[in-house]
């Protein structure tokens, strides 16, 4: 299961990098309006924060400190900064998972985010799906603005 999770997370973090790179205008990264309340730039910050917190910080003991409100409130970070953060996150996530013992997937995840306990394997699968969900939103946001 770990090799599959590594492959999927690497694939989608590469796609996130490609999506952020593909915006025709850097300013479009931060546009919201109507029912679109999260910009592509803020979704990128959110994904970087989420994976660094729950994979690198909790499982890899990286010392990452999350500022979740800033993921949605910070604006106009240069595209190159976002791209660098995605690449760094991709590398750290892969290193963390490469060093994760297989039997840890069946252990209860260290942070309880819901009333019922969940295994590390379950939560890692959730994180991969969360990344994919928001990646689709970034893709749609970019294509909508780049028409």
User: pLDDT tens across 54-97, in order?
Assistant: 999 999 999 999 999 999 999 999 999 999 999 999 999 999 99
* Statement: 2-145 belongs to CATH 3.40.50.720: no
Instruction: Give the pLDDT band (50/70/90) at residue 127.
Output: very high
Residue with tokens 């819901």: 114
Q: Write down the pTM of the prediction.
A: 0.95
* pLDDT above 90: residue 115: no
Q: Is 136 exposed, middle or buried (0-12, 13-18, 19+ CB in 10 A)?
A: middle
Give the integer Cα–Cα distance in Å for 124 and 130: 10
Residue 10 confidence (pLDDT): 98
Residue 30 confidence (pLDDT): 97
* pLDDT above 90: residue 112: no
Residue 77 confidence (pLDDT): 97
């Amino acid at each position: 299961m770990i090799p599959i999770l590594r492959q999927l997370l690497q694939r989608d973090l590469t796609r996130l990098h490609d999506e952020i790179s593909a915006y025709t205008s850097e300013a479009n990264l931060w546009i919201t309006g109507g029912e679109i309340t999260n910009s592509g730039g803020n979704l990128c910050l959110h994904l970087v924060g989420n994976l660094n917190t729950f994979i690198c910080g909790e499982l890899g003991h990286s010392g990452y400190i999350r500022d979740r409100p800033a993921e949605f409130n910070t604006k106009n970070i240069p595209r190159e900064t976002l791209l660098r953060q995605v690449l760094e996150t991709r590398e750290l996530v892969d290193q963390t998972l490469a060093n994760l013992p297989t039997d840890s997937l069946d252990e209860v995840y260290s942070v309880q985010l819901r009333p019922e306990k969940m295994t590390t394997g379950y939560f890692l699968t959730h994180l991969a799906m969360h990344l994919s969900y928001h990646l689709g939103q970034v893709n749609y946001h970019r294509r909508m603005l780049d028409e």
